[in-house]
Each structure stands twice: as C-alpha cells, then as structure tokens.
C-alpha cells in the first residue's frame, strides 16, 4: 500500500490534547457513530429487522477491519496515540458488524436473501452469500485505499458517514412499499442519523475541517453536506409518515 506522509503529518499536528475544539468534535462524531449502531441492535433484537441492508454490514466490516490494521501499524511505526485510539475504536465497530451479520444469518436471512434464492434460505446459504460479499468488499476497500493512500482515513470516515445518511432510506422505503410497515425502522434512529450528518458538515466545527482544513475546507465539501443533509431529512420525513408501530405477540416492545 502506498503511504501519503503529508496526511499522517497533518493528523499528528492536529490531534493534540491542547486542541480542545478538535478533540470535542472527534468525540461527538464517534458518539454519533456508536449511537447509530446502538439503535441497530435495539431494532434487530426487539423487531427482528435491522435498519441497514446487508451490503452495508459487509462493507463496514471490510472497512473497519482494514483500517483497524492500518491504524495499528501506523501506531506501531509512529507511537502516536491517535492511531492507537482509532484502531481500537474501529475494532469495536467491527465487533458490532459481527453481531449484525450473525443476526442476518440467524434471524433475517429469508427477507434479506429470499429474492435471490429458490425456496428456503438456509443458514449455510446465508453464510455463503455473506462470505462472497465480504471478499468483494475487502477487495473494493483495499484497492481504493491503495489508490488513495493509507493516510486517507479521514476521507474514508467522511464516506462512511455519507453512506449511512443515504443508503438506509432505500431499505426503509422498500419495507414501507411492500408491507406498509415501519418495522425495522425507527424515528429515533432517523433523527440521530440526521443530527450526525449535520455534525459531519457543521461549518468550521466538524472533525474533518478542524483536523485537515487543507483537504476538507472546500466548497465541494459543504455542497456535499447540503445534499446529504437533505437526503437525511427526506428519509426522516418518510419514516414519520409510516404507520405507527403497535405491540404484537412477536414484537411486544417496538422501538420508537
């Protein structure tokens, strides 16, 4: 993998303990990321449906594990605390994805893969299909990291936030159209995603611009923010228009 030292240098110069605004912005960004998965756990456990499509789980697994290793190796080379912290945080996220994919295999497999498999989707078939996706996602993530350079962690964090702001809405609409149901969706999650997206592009106060203004403080960055915030708002409005959830025998405690 090629290395782009200037990006590593920018991160080491920016993430210092006396740079309080950046430290706070980073903590807030990571909190939003974790909250988006806490709601995913709540939905799959209480409603037997996750809010994210399976390909997002396989992509994030490949992304988080690949960058956890890259950041670990960068920490080994430099001894810089930020790389160690990011590596550990990504490892935790990776464990979240293991749990989500376990639930796809054990709970969601028929809905997720039923359109592509004749008859019943067995656990073995679900594992096979997920494994194929994982191999493809690992190749996709790592070839792009190779092109962009292993110092492009902040660019990839931005991409993952843009993805979660937009892609889940497609699944939510599919369920709403097919079943006229809000099961597997959540008003609370849609609000969290919107707030997390706003935080990502908050002018002069987001983790990206505060850490690497030479890369992110650009008109296209903020224009992108306007577009993805609008998409998150659109998804939020859709969720609020879905029928209210009612407790049932198989869903006694639905998620708001």
* Mean per-residue pLDDT pooled into runs of 10, the chain (256 residues): 62 94 96 93 94 97 97 92 95 93 96 92 97 98 92 95 97 90 94 98 95 95 98 97 91 93
pTM for the full model? 0.93
Task: Mention every residue, 6+ apart, whose C-beta is less than 8 A from residue 222.
Answer: 201, 203
**Which pLDDT score, from 0 to 100, does residue 197 have?**
98
What are the extents of the domains in the chain? Answer: 5-241
Residue matched to tokens 């702001």: 165
In 3D, which of 151, 160, 162, 149 has the Cα closest to residue 212? Answer: 151
> What is residue 115's three-state secondary structure?
coil
d(CA 195, CA 251): 28
pLDDT at 179: 82
Residues 209 and 219: beta-carbon distance below 8 Å: no
Helix axes 123-148, 54-78, angle to 10 degrees: 50
The reported pLDDT for the residue numbered 60 is: 97
pLDDT confidence of residue 6: 61
Residue 4: what pLDDT? 44
Q: What integer pLDDT is reported at residue 151 of this predicted model? A: 85
CB 93 within 8 A of CB 60: yes
What is the token pair recorded at 242?
A: 């879905």
């Amino acid at each position: 993998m090629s290395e782009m030292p200037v990006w590593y240098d920018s991160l080491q110069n920016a993430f210092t303990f006396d740079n309080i605004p950046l430290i706070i912005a980073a903590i807030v960004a990571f909190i939003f990321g974790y909250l988006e998965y806490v709601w995913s756990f709540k939905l799959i456990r209480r409603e037997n449906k996750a809010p994210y499509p399976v390909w997002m789980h396989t992509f994030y697994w490949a992304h988080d594990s690949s960058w956890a290793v890259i950041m670990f190796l960068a920490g080994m080379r430099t001894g810089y605390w930020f790389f160690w912290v990011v590596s550990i945080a990504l490892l935790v996220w990776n464990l979240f994805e293991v749990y989500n994919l376990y639930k796809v295999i054990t709970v969601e497999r028929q809905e997720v893969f039923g359109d592509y498999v004749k008859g019943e989707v067995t656990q073995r078939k679900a594992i096979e299909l997920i494994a194929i996706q994982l191999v493809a996602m690992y190749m996709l993530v790592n070839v792009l990291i190779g092109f962009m350079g292993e110092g492009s962690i902040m660019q990839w964090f931005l991409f993952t936030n843009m993805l979660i702001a937009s892609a889940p809405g497609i699944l939510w609409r599919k369920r709403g159209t097919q079943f006229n149901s809000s099961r597997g969706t959540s008003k609370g999650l849609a609000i969290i995603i919107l707030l997390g997206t706003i935080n990502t592009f908050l002018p002069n106060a987001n983790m990206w611009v505060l850490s690497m203004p030479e890369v992110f403080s650009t008109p296209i960055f903020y224009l992108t923010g306007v577009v993805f915030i609008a998409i998150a708002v659109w998804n939020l409005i859709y969720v609020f228009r879905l029928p209210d959830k009612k407790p049932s025998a198989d869903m006694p405690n639905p998620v708001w």
